[in-house]
Amino acid sequence: MEYKLQFNDDATSDEIQQAQAAGTKLLYLFKPLFKKYAALITTGKINFEDKEIKRFVSSFIGDCDLKLALKRQHATSKYCHPINQKFAFVTETYGKCDPNDIMSDLQMLFLVLVKRYKQMGKNFCAYLYNSYGYEVSRHIKKYTKNPVNIPYRNVEYEDFMQTYSERAMEDCFEDKIYENSQGIPDSTWMSGESCSDLFRSLSKEERKLIIKYYMEDYNDRQIAEEFSMHINTVNQKRRKAVNKLASILGVDPKSIQRSRNSGKKALFTQ
C-alpha cells in the first residue's frame, strides 16, 4: 500500500520517496519468485511438483489431456514429455531474450499487479499467487504473436512455414514491417549489411527502435505494443542507442531530437 501512494494525485514528495523505497523493498522480497519464473522460461525445466508453475505452463497448452495431467497432483512420464515439448516453444522464443530483459519484464509485471492490488478479502500473496502467472503468460503470448520476435527455425510450430526458407520468411516480415513510405530502410539495412559504420555499431534491435521512433514517428508506448516489450524497456534501449550514436559523433545526446507528432497515427494524417 505504501508503493501505491505515488499514484495519488495529491502525493507529496515524501510520499513519493516512501513509495519508491517500498517498491525497491518489494522487488527484493519477491526476488525468488522472479528467479523461479526466469529459470523456467529460459531453461524449460518444469517442476511438476509446483502447482503455480503447472498452472502457468497449462496456459500455453491446448491439449485437454495434457491440461488435465497438469491438474493432477502427480504427472506421469507419459504426459511429462509431451508437456515439455509443447512448452519448449516459449523457451525457444521469449526465453531467448536477454536474461536482463526477461528479469526486467518480470519485475515490471509484478509492479503492475502491486499497483492494481486492492484490499478486498485476499492478502497480497494470495492475490499474487492467483494472478502473477496469468500476467506473465499474457505478456509472453503478446510477444510471440509478433512475427518479428519469432526465429522460425522449427517448422513444428507453424505449418505454413514448411514451404518457405528461413531467410525468405525473415525478408518477408522485415520488408512488410520496416520499409517506410519511401522504401527505406530495407531489410539489408536492418540486418547491418547496407548501413554505414555509424549505424552498424547498433544492434539490430536498436536500429529497429531508431527507425520506429525517428522515421515512423512512433512513440515509446506504440513501439512497446508493436514489439511486445515493456514501455520502460523500450525507453531505456532507445536512449542507449541514441547515446551510442552521440558518443561516436561527439555530440550531446539531447541534440538528437525529433518533432513530437502524434505517433503512429501521424503517418496516416500527413
**Which element (helix H / strand E) includes 10?**
none
Residue 9's pLDDT is 83
Cβ atoms 54, 70 nearer than 8 A: yes
Cβ atoms 188, 171 nearer than 8 A: no
Q: And the C-alpha cell for 166?
A: 528461413
**What is the CA 45 to chain-centroid distance, rounded?**
20
Residue 198's pLDDT is 83
Q: And the C-alpha cell for 173?
A: 516480415
Residue 261's pLDDT is 52
Cβ atoms 23, 3 nearer than 8 A: yes
Q: What are phi and psi of 134, to 5 degrees?
A: -65, -45
Domain boundaries, the chain: 3-145, 166-269
Task: Enumerate residue ranges in the chain where pLDDT < 50.
Answer: 153-183, 262-270
Residue 72's pLDDT is 84
Looking up cell 494472478 gives 131
Residue 89 to residue 171: CA distance in whole angstroms? 22
